Amino acid sequence: MILWILLALLTAIVAAALLYPLSRRPEALAPENAGEIAVYRDQMKELDRDRAGGLISAEEAEYARAEIGRRLLAAAAKSGEGAGDASKPSIVRKLAIGVVTVVPPAIGLCLYIMLGSPGLPDQPLEARLENPGNDMSLLVAKAERHLAQNPNDGAGWDILAPIYFRTARLGDAELAYRNAIRLIGPNGARLSGLGETLVVANDGIVTEDARSAFEEAIRLEPGNVRARFYVGVAQEQAGKAADAKATFEAIAKASPPDAPWMGMINEHIAKNGGTAAAPAAPSTLGGPSADDVAAAQNMSQGDRQEMIRGMVDSLAARLEADPNNIEGWLRLVRSYMVLGDRDKAQAALKTGLGHFPADGNEGRQLAALAQETGLSAEGVANPGGTQ
């Protein structure tokens, strides 16, 4: 009821502001023949003076007075008609007043009924938190409220930590990871998540704190590829190219040829003086055959890069013609990263996400690849698949 009263008051105020100029009476204007009337009156006065001075006879004065009076009355009548017309509101003014009074409120009411929800009751934050649905911000707010009341719930911190990371709340992510590790103990995922948060917060630099977290993750889970990768990056940043190359080659050796992280691993192997293998691809994607791979081993680094680029361009052309191929998009993004063409990798990721819904299995694969490679998957909800 309060809303309708406010709307009515606002409508009345606006209508009054618009009607005020139209409702004012026009100012009285001097008639156009005012001078003519004044002349006739002066003639009457002059006629009286002539009669009193004996310049004209009484009979001539009466004839002249009658004629001047007739003309004066005619001029006065004409002036009165003009004044009467000016005092009456014209049809245009009446129409304008009606339009201003009726049309804006009617349009506003129709738009509100069509686009608004006049029958929807107020829903305070408490009620929305009780039924957040799929609204991620409300889900996070609900979890934060729970943790404010139960700060020792390690599982809650463990759930929130990767969400904070994906939404670039890095300070909150670090706190959440540390609380989860403190309350429910360390494991490879939590330590790797903490380390990666510290790396991103320091603009890609693997700090001593982050390196310690990755090394502890490897101790607990020797097969943790993410932690081993960042240890190699730390060695690379410290100028230990040989150690970094050995770390990346060990990851490559233990990984299947079509593992999703092989693109980045090969890139770092080449960066540290090693030989990166040509990216493997299923024959349905037009990837290199066994003979192509064997031939690539004998090529120079430049020729090998040209061969890879040719295959990547061919794959991009096929995906443009037939985009319903999730494996193709995954391989295209990784291949561009191997070639060091980050802009094309980002564009391919964006195009792939345009063909596969972010909440589907294929979309989650693309979002996971974005997180793995450091690309932006803007607008993707729940990239890691964590609920």
- Greatest Cα-to-Cα distance within the chain, rounded to the nearest angstrom: 142
Is residue 130 assigned to a domain? no
Choose from 260-274, 275-289, 330-344 the range with maximum mean pLDDT.
Answer: 260-274
Q: Which residue has the higher pLDDT, 62 or 108?
A: 62
Q: Which residue has the higher pLDDT, 261 or 207?
A: 207
Is residue 182 assigned to a domain? no
Would you tell me how many other CB atoms lie within 10 Å of the CB of residue 6?
Answer: 10
The domain boundary, picked from 56, 90, 115, lies at 115
pLDDT band at 313 (very low <50, low <70, confident <90, very high): confident
Query: In 151-282, where does DSSP find H-type helix?
Result: 154-166, 170-184, 188-201, 208-220, 225-237, 241-254, 262-271
Is residue 297 assigned to a domain? yes
Looking at the predicted structure, is the pLDDT value of residue 91 above 60? yes
Is residue 384 assigned to a domain? yes
Distance CA 370, CA 361 (A): 14
Looking at the predicted structure, is the pLDDT value of residue 289 above 50? no
Overall average pLDDT of the 62-89 stretch: 65
Overall average pLDDT of the 40-58 stretch: 78
- What's the confidence (pLDDT) of residue 17? 74
Looking at the predicted structure, is the pLDDT value of residue 266 above 50? yes
Question: Are 44 and 13 in contact, with CB atoms under 8 Å apart?
Answer: no
What are the distances in angstroms from CA 368 to CA 261, 349, 385? Answer: 11, 11, 8
pLDDT band at 381 (very low <50, low <70, confident <90, very high): very low
Structural domain harbouring 366: 275-387
- What's the confidence (pLDDT) of residue 281? 46
SS3 track for 319-356: HHHCCCCHHHHHHHHHHHHHCCCHHHHHHHHHHHHHHC
The domain boundary, picked from 71, 100, 115, lies at 115
Is residue 93 assigned to a domain? yes
- What's the confidence (pLDDT) of residue 212? 96
Count the domains in the chain: 2
pTM value is 0.44
Is residue 248 assigned to a domain? no
Looking at the predicted structure, is the pLDDT value of residue 125 above 50? no
- What's the confidence (pLDDT) of residue 196? 92
As a dihedral over the C-alpha atoms of residue 25, residue 28, residue 31, residue 37, rounded to 10 degrees, the angle is 140
Q: What is the CATH number of the domain that holds 304?
A: 1.25.40
Q: Which residue has the higher pLDDT, 308 or 141?
A: 141
- Of 18-32, 234-248, 275-289, where does mean pLDDT reach its minimum? 275-289
The domain boundary, picked from 55, 80, 115, lies at 115
Is residue 253 assigned to a domain? no
Each residue's pLDDT tens digit, 155-192: 999 989 988 988 889 999 999 999 999 999 999 889 99
Is residue 313 assigned to a domain? yes
